[in-house]
Amino acid sequence: MEETSRHEKLVSALRRLILLEIFLIPGLVVALFVEERWFPPEVRAFVAARAEQPLTWLEWLLAGISIPLVILLVTSWFMLWHLRPSGRVLYTVVWAISMVVYFFDPVQVSGGLSLLLTEIAALVAGVILGLIYFSDLRIHFDHGRLPN
């Protein structure tokens, strides 16, 4: 009985983290647009000039990769929510590819709020990965069933 309660608490924690991650991403997008008005004039001018330039082949490639990644991330959230073993693999692959995309992303200008939200999102993703690989939930994802 106690083991089931512990499992339920882990599942609840995982689901809360998924919800937090879902709300952090739009919050980050809003923060990127809102905080631009707080930038010094020189930085705003740089951002405006950068926005007028045509996209490079790398930026087109990263955009082309990012759109399917977002779709796969949403799919992985759904699968993790329902404790499907393949959700763990998909979530891990999406985040690994996202780190590579982030590494090659061109110059970004952001303020403190968006940086804070980015750090929190990375922390939440790390905790989710920790739960699905290193907590008792890993047994469920390894075998597709609850531990006995």
DSSP letters along 61-130, please? Answer: HHHHHHHHHHHHHHHHHHHHHTT-HHHHHHHHHHHHHHHHHHHH-------HHHHHHHHHHHHHHHHHHH
In a domain, 84, yes or no: yes
Q: What is the pTM of this model?
A: 0.86
**Residue 49 belongs to what domain range?**
2-143
Longest dimension (CA), the chain: 62
- CA distances, 107 to each of 26, 47, 59, 75 (Å): 21, 10, 11, 29
In a domain, 148, yes or no: no
- CA distances, 26 to each of 95, 103, 117 (Å): 17, 21, 10
The alpha carbon torsion through 109, 114, 115, 121 (nearest 10 deg) reads: -130
If one compares 19 and 60, the residue with the highest pLDDT of the two is: 19
Q: What number is the average pLDDT over the span 74-87? A: 96
Tell whether the model's pLDDT for residue 146 goes beyond 60. no
Taking all residues of the chain, what is their mean pLDDT, rounded to a whole number?
Answer: 89
Tell whether the model's pLDDT for residue 148 goes beyond 50. no
In a domain, 39, yes or no: yes
Tell whether the model's pLDDT for residue 50 goes beyond 60. yes
Distance CA 109, CA 31 (A): 12
In a domain, 98, yes or no: yes
Tell whether the model's pLDDT for residue 3 goes beyond 80. no
Please give the tally of structural domains in the chain: 1
